A and B are shown apart, each in its own frame.
Chain A
């Protein structure tokens, strides 16, 4: 079955279920031909499907890989280099697993320490009211599924027990990995957020830096997602 047909059926089913409105700007029915080339079939996962990334379209630097990493952060820490669009999971022997990410656009980047206090498989998306004010076309909420912009997993970032409103999550826009695009969330390829979910227990430390070597500052973006 072709991707397009399958996606069309999924989109039609979603419309029939009334689970989304005209906000489904990302639905494949409205995707350009160019956008469709970034996908290569579907993967079933926990009762849903996500679009597989077509790695031929992705620059090697954004793909998950083992790299050297000189760090004083303990193993298991997630470090994000915002400027260079890399997320590192610190391993032993001065190595790290590096993933490509998309980060906040201008005015929506933030920095500091956080902790993964909640994890979700196939999260629903509830855009915060302020985001809906900026983008009135957004729905009040979107059920989990192939057109949910959070993708197949979300890791929720907290500081001192408070939900920061930011998450590590998947994306429907693999071409946006490596750029400044979000409202402050860290977005990853669907395959990568599924992978990272496996590797980060609750309580995982997260450090968002301007760039590697930059001082640790706790600085919220003037973002209103909280």
Chain B
């Protein structure tokens, strides 16, 4: 490896680590925090997913609900995902969920915070209607924060307009 590519790798690595530290939206954390060379190494149980585990929620249910521009309306696809989430949460009552809403939409910062809160609330209300007690959930909007990608294109924005359903056994809310 020459110096230039080495430097590029270091910078990229630093960016990766920085973005990991700032996401704060949960998800499985690998047991080893060191950057791994082991792409394809199984995380947690690999194909042997334990029933009721966070990994099962990630692999078989899905944490993300997506929204159209400027909208906090749940479309058909969002409802399918949330139906699966409700089934899982009803089956595994030990889990609470933090519902983290985000926006990357036209409007002021205040409008985006409000929109992200409406998105999180829409998810909470839908799950509540499917039988999940409201005291197991907390909905919070973060506005245009914790961007997955920052660009003017739909490729970034579609990923950012989301609610993450973050299961917690010991709730931090």
Contact = CB atoms under 8 A, between A and B. Distances in A.
Interface of A: 60, 63-72, 74-76, 86, 91-95, 97-98, 115, 195, 197-199, 201-205, 212
Given A93-B30, A199-B62, A199-B64, A65 B155 contact: no
A70 B17 CA distance: 12
A59 to B, nearest CB: 10
Interface in B41-92: 41-44, 46-47, 49, 55, 58-60, 62, 64, 66, 77, 80-81
A98 B20 CA distance: 20
Please name the 6 residue pairs, one residue from A and one from B, whose CB atoms are nearest each other, closest first.
A203-B154, A203-B158, A76-B159, A201-B66, A201-B158, A74-B149
A115 B58 CA distance: 24
Given A65-B47, A201-B159, A212 B55 contact: no
Interface string B10-21: 001000100010
A192 B28 CA distance: 21
Interface stretch (B32-40, B109-117, B127-135): B32-40
Contacts, number: 105
B140 interface: no
The SS class assigned to the A binding surface is: loop
A197 to B, nearest CB: 7
Given A66-B44, A198-B80, A94 B36 contact: yes
Contacts of A91: 27-28, 58
Contacts of A203: 153-155, 157-159
Contact of A66 (B28, B35, B39, B153): B28
Contacts of B38: 68
A95 B27 contact: yes
Given A70-B36, A92-B27, A75 B157 contact: no
Given A70-B37, A199-B62, A203-B157, A76 B30 contact: no
Contact of A95 (B30, B153, B156, B161): B30
Interface residues of B, number: 42
A74 B159 contact: yes
B29 interface: yes
A19 to B, nearest CB: 25
B171 interface: no
Given A63-B47, A64-B59, A93-B30, A197 B77 contact: yes
A67 B59 CA distance: 10
B23 interface: yes
B7 interface: no
Contact of B36 (A63, A64, A68): A68
B40 A92 contact: no
A41 B55 CA distance: 26
